[in-house]
Amino acid sequence: MALRPRKYCPRCGGTYPESFFRLTRVAHACATSDRRPICKLCEQTARDEKKAAHRWVHKMRGTRARHEHKLGYPAGTLEKLYGWDLVQMAEDAQRAYAHKCPGCRKAFSGMVHGLGDISLDICDRARAPFYLNNVGWLCVTCNRAKSQMTPDDWAEFCIGRDIWIRQQVIGSPQKKLPF
């Protein structure tokens, strides 16, 4: 069996089979290969590092796009009409993540899915989704539980849940309050 052609990656300094390198989309007249110069793993590492450096903004971009889709708005509507600025959203989400979910009062940092545990809730769906006064950061569990509840129904649910939790703890001295 003949050795397959190998290629050098200038970023990591490794020499790998050509399958480690992506095919180029456009053939250039001066190109010596139909493969990109950087190996796939170095490309992926660069993308991961870029995403990690701006992970909150990246999450907010997805959050805003999902809300626009769910509300039936064209892209950009929430930012232009309702103040959903990515940088402000990222700062607010980071600040909220450093504390506790206002719904269940559990620390976001103690939840198992990292950034996937914090979500943006539109508090009152009967009102316009202004970022300034009609959204709030909740854990995904609370946001699902709230679903389409009105703010009053949600408050009543949270109070009832707190009473239920206290009754469970009082009935079992080994248990501690989760908040």
Q: What is the pLDDT of residues 134-147, one digit of tens each?
A: 999 999 999 999 99
Buried b (16+ CB within 10 A) or exposed e, 124-155: beeeebebeebbbbbbeebbebbeebeeeebe
More confident position, 175 or 64: 64
pLDDT value at position 50?
84
Question: Is the confidence at residue 29, as pLDDT, over 60?
Answer: no
CA 150 to chain CA centroid, Å, is 25
**Of 40, 48, 43, 49, which Cα lies nearest the Cα of 20?**
40
| CA dist., res. 115 & res. 113, Å (int) | 6
Tokens of 20: 């480690």
pLDDT of residue 176: 63
Domain ranges, ordered by start, for the chain:
51-171
Cα 60 to Cα 84: distance, rounded to the nearest angstrom: 9
The reported pLDDT for the residue numbered 28 is 60
Axis-axis angle for helices 40-53, 55-71 (nearest 10): 80
Rg for the chain, CA atoms, rounded: 24
* Closest residue by Cα to residue 55 from 9, 94, 16, 110: 94
Beta bridge partners of 138: 119
Check: CB of residue 83 under 8 Å from CB of residue 132: yes
Tell the residue number behind the tokens 């309702």, with chain if given.
Answer: 82
CB atoms near residue 91 (< 10 Å) = 14
Q: What is the pLDDT of residue 166?
A: 86
Q: Are 7 and 26 in contact (CB under 8 A)?
A: no
Residue 32 has pLDDT above 70, yes or no: no
Residue closest to 108 by CA, chosen among 123, 86, 93: 93
Residue 5 pLDDT > 60: yes
What does the pLDDT read at residue 48? 87
Q: Which fold has domain 51-171?
A: Herpes Virus-1 (3.30.40)
Can you tell me the mean pLDDT for 22-42?
79
Q: What is the pLDDT of residue 3?
A: 74
Q: Is the pLDDT of residue 15 over 90?
A: yes
Q: Which residue has the higher pLDDT, 164 or 129?
A: 129
Q: 47-63: per-residue pLDDT in tens?
A: 888 877 788 999 999 99
Type and span of the H or E element at 142: helix 140-146
Residue identified by tokens 């456009």 is 26
Average pLDDT over residues 105-123: 93
> Could you give the percent of the chain with pLDDT greater than 90?
68
pLDDT of 151 higher than 60:
yes
Residue 2 — very low, low, confident or very high, per pLDDT cuts 50/70/90? low
